[in-house]
Structure 1
Amino acid sequence: MELIQENPDLSAYLVADEVIDHHHPLVRDTAARLARDAQDSYAYARLAFEFVRDAITHSQDADDPRVTWRASDVLAQGTGICHAKAHALAALLRAEDIPTALCYQRFAHDEGDGHVLHGLVAVRFGGAWHRQDPRGNKPGVDARFSLDGERLAFRPDPGAGELDYPGLHAAPHAAVLGALRAAPDRSRLWKTLPAAL
């Protein structure tokens, strides 16, 4: 799949904002700790991906009712859904000057009714964008960091109305962020996440 940049200026994919707050001390400290064990930016990106995938629980898998959306809060609370984990990974990567975009996929809703957006990231290496999914592994899900072919958590089934959105977003989609901010808990969030971009 060819990914499409919403902004041709790569500096847009390095910005710190209210959501991808890589200027926050906790994000900076976490990035510095991970960077100590990395020989280069590729190794750092892999370590940051594995940290978010493995050390930050997916709140549905953990049956955690908390809703996080700001990267620093995801790191502080150690939980979040796919979108929140994507925000945290984007912040850690941008903290080390690795251009990172947010990406979306559309899947059948877990509760069997309609569709829901899934969030992941794309990193820029070697003049190309590479999607990565830090959602968190579980039985049947084996996402890996890879610049040589995608190793994502899920593959869309077009017959079920599922799809990959090709857009690369410098900031979270407004509908996704609105649902995250408004939800008092994860069970309510599950009913309000958007079904499409």
Structure 2
Amino acid sequence: MTQNFLLATDMIDFHHMAIQHKAQQLFTAAMNDVEKTSVAYAFVRDEIPHSFDCNARVITAKASDVLIHQTGICHAKANLLAALLRSQAIPSGFCFQHLTLADDDSLGYCVHAYNAVYLKNRWIRLDARGNKAGVEAQFSLTEPILAFPNRLEYDEYDWPGIYTNPHQPTMQMLEKAGCLQDIIDNIPDTLHEKPDLLG
């Protein structure tokens, strides 16, 4: 059931030396999977600034680039967290939300990404978007504490299920983008793929 959530891919390139080196820094042999996940989550959430929070000049997508350049949007940061965890044989996937691109719907909507991680025989959801005022995601083994709760006054909702891979249209957009404005102008707002798991 979880084997595909352990694979290295072009975007989740955990065999890259930068990720292998960071894994050696973050994890010890004495740590269990919950401890490793908590440490990796805190690192990606707090030490890798979201591209819009730091006005990034470089746009990243694949996990190794996020680590090397120390920035990424939610999708890219989710790639890095998945790569760090898969490097430790911890099954990791992706979940998606339909959210406003701005605080309101004046700029339209986007696909937001966060992670699902298989721990203690169940999937938990973790959002490493990066905390700021009004955005406070947390590590929890029980109820997900995500960066952006869906708001009834807007067309915000979760796409059901867990995906093995990142959202390909967003990955393609990020690889073409040259600046943050390109992301604002071109980030996808819909999801057509079917989930790999319905959990």
SS of match in other structure, 1:76: helix
For residues 18-167 of structure 1, the aligned pairs below 5 Å read 18-36=10-28, 39-110=31-102, 112-167=106-161
- Give the counterpart letter for 1:98 in structure 2: I
Give a deviation string over 1:48-70, Cα, whole Å, max 9, x none: 00000011010101111321001
Cα distance between partner residues in 2 of 1:146 and 1:78: 25
SS of match in other structure, 1:85: helix
Cα distance between partner residues in 2 of 1:91 and 1:142: 23
SS of match in other structure, 2:89: coil
User: What is the aligned residue count?
Assistant: 189
Cα distance between partner residues in 1 of 2:29 and 2:145: 23
Cα distance between partner residues in 1 of 2:118 and 2:70: 26
What fraction of aligned residue pairs are identical, expressed as a percent? Answer: 38
SS of match in other structure, 2:153: helix
- How far does residue 141 in structure 1 lie from its aligned partner after superposition? 1.1
Cα distance between partner residues in 2 of 1:82 and 1:185: 15
For residues 148-187 of structure 1, the aligned pairs below 5 Å read 148-187=142-181
- How far does residue 29 in structure 1 lie from its aligned partner after superposition? 1.1
Deviates more, 1:166-175 or 1:14-23: 166-175
Q: Residue 65 of structure 1 contacts residue 187 of structure 1 at CA under 8 Å; is this kept in 2?
A: no
Give a deviation string over 1:119-166, Cα, whole Å, max 9, x none: 100000122111100000001111111111111111012431100111
Stretches of structure 2 lacking an aligned partner (at least 5 in a row): 192-199
Q: Residue 38 of structure 1 contacts residue 47 of structure 1 at CA under 8 Å; is this kept in 2?
A: no
Q: Residue 33 of structure 2 contacts residue 119 of structure 2 at CA under 8 Å; is this kept in 1?
A: no
TM-score normalised per structure 2: 0.91
Look up the match of 2:197: none
TM-score normalised per structure 1: 0.92
